[in-house]
Amino acid sequence: MPDALAEADRLLIPFMRQPVTGSFADRLERMGRLLEAVGAPHRRLWTLHVAGTSGKTSVCYFLRSLLVRSGWTPGLSVSPHVGAVTDRVQVGAGPIDPDTFLRELTAFLDAVPHRVRGAVNFLDVMTAFAWWVFDRVGVQRAVVEVGVGGLHDRSNLLPAEGKVCVIGDVGLDHVGRLGHSLAEVAVHKAGIIKQGCHVVALRQHPVVESVISATAAGREATVEYVDGALSPPCDLPDFQRRNWALALAAYRHVARLHAMPELNGADLAAAAWDQPPGRMERWCLAGRELLLDGAHNPQKMAGLRKSLAHHGPAGLTVVANMVRTSGDRVAETCSELARIDGVRLIVPRFRLAPVPVKQSLSPVGFATLARAAGVPSAECVEDLAEAVRRAVAAPRPVVVTGSLYLVSQVRHLLAAWGGRPAERRR
């Protein structure tokens, strides 16, 4: 039998090539037709629906781990994937295995009529497939990460019944698609709130809170605001403390609904260390340690900068680049990068396989923006593997950051070279 992941890629490539076209309403209608074609699995799921600009994936992993440690079998659906495509369909404590993934994907696609199959793209298919698997397995809660925004996101077809809305930190995000002000972006994030739902949201900018509160009031939803300063059960970076506080509050709401037992300190600590790949993740290679963190917007880069200031040495070699995007997000992210002391920047090109749906900025383009922001040294290296080799060969500590697609490819390189993830520091 061919490699299961390679065969799954072969089945998914036509959907990766399918362009995203039409209005938001058109896209949701196509997604709705796909879900109905496979039996409307979303109508039978009880969900924790997670939105926000930064920290969504971390909140999702925390929630999944808390539910597992309570004896439940949750589903988890996140995007993008960093380790393998199976990251997008997780049941219980981790992704479903590649052979099961391929078998279930084949059965799922066989159930999709040709007229529907020709209209949907990769993200439509993977979202619907995850929900279809969750329904077949009978997960007790599905933890679902919003893709973009919330109001018009394909995940917002999830019904109100059995849904808890979880909203993390909100900042300027996907400017142009979601709006040019904090209030406009917040409208999209709060768009996941459905009639009569309970909302758990982080305390944050008053503009964001006012949008969340007004949206909830208009839909007879209840809102619980969470102070992100809650002390975690283990040593977490500051930005992860906020994510942990949000996840724990959402979990405790679900636990109250179902009379679940209170978790002890050891369970809480274990859950807090269940974090996504590519987020403050340390790898070991030939005696060197590399820190991988997909800080792909200004908020995330600021979080990385603050964590390095508290826990990391000065004088770093940073391998970084980002995807092409509209607006000022790249320049603003570079401004945060420039505030890290003593950065020597190496900028590679990365390509998305097997189909380049998104492209990295050219190394020269990103390096130019970084220098303009104040990064003192920026070297362009077209080949990603060569860029990582140069970083590891230098005596400085190494950080790989920027796009999660870049971080994902570096993880695969390190694994091929005999590297391994380090145990999370407790």
Residue ranges per domain, the chain?
4-272, 281-421
- Note the pTM of the prediction, 2 decimals: 0.92
Q: What is the largest CA-CA distance in the chain?
A: 58
Element (H, E) at 378: strand 377-381
d(CA 59, CA 54): 10
Tell me, rounded to whole angstroms, the distance of Cα 92 from its chain centroid. 18
Contacts of 269 (CB under 8 A, 6+ apart): 233, 234, 426
394 vs 398: CA distance, rounded Å: 9
Tokens, residue 327: 């607006």
- Predicted pLDDT at 356: 57
Per-residue DSSP letter, 96:
P
User: Could you give the angle at the alpha carbon of 80 between the alpha carbons of 281 and 139, nearest 5°?
Assistant: 95
Question: What is the phi/psi pair of residue 343, to 5°?
Answer: -80, 130
Q: Is 272 helix (H, G, I), strand (E, B) or coil?
A: helix
State how far the Cα of 43 lies from the Cα of 78, in Å rounded to an integer: 19
- Where are the strands (E) in 174-303, listed by range? 198-202, 222-226, 281-285, 288-293
Q: How far apart are CA 174 and CA 235, in angstroms?
A: 31
pLDDT value at residue 230: 78
Class of domain 281-421: alpha beta
DSSP H or E run through 401:
strand 398-402
Instruction: Give one DSSP letter per residue of 230-260, joined into a string.
Output: PPPSS---HHHHHHHHHHHHHHHHHHHHTTP
* Digitized pLDDT (tens) for each residue of the chain, 426 residues in all: 459 999 999 999 999 888 777 788 888 999 999 999 999 999 999 999 999 998 999 999 999 999 999 999 999 999 889 989 999 999 999 999 999 999 999 999 999 999 999 999 999 999 999 999 999 999 999 999 999 999 999 999 999 999 999 999 998 876 667 888 999 999 999 999 999 999 999 999 999 999 999 999 999 999 999 998 777 888 787 778 999 999 999 999 999 999 998 999 999 999 998 889 999 999 999 999 999 999 999 989 999 998 888 766 668 999 999 998 756 789 999 999 999 988 999 999 998 765 556 778 999 999 999 999 999 999 999 999 999 999 999 999 999 999 999 999 999 999 999 999 987 655
Please tell me the predicted confidence (pLDDT) of residue 181.
93
pLDDT in tens, 74-94: 999 998 899 899 999 999 999
236: how many CB neighbours lie within 10 A of its CB? 22
Report which secondary-structure segment, H or E, holds 90.
Answer: strand 90-91
For domain 4-272, which CATH number applies: 3.40.190.10, 3.40.1190.10, 3.30.70.100, 3.40.1190.20?
3.40.1190.10
Q: Do the strands 281-285 and 288-293 form a parallel or antiparallel pair, or are they unpaired?
A: antiparallel
Of 191, 248, 251, 249, the residue nearest 221 (C-alpha)? 191
Give the pLDDT of residue 1.
42
Q: HSE on the CB side for 410, CA within 13 Å? A: 38
Burial, 110: exposed, middle or buried (Cβ in 10 Å; 0-12, 13-18, 19+)?
Answer: exposed
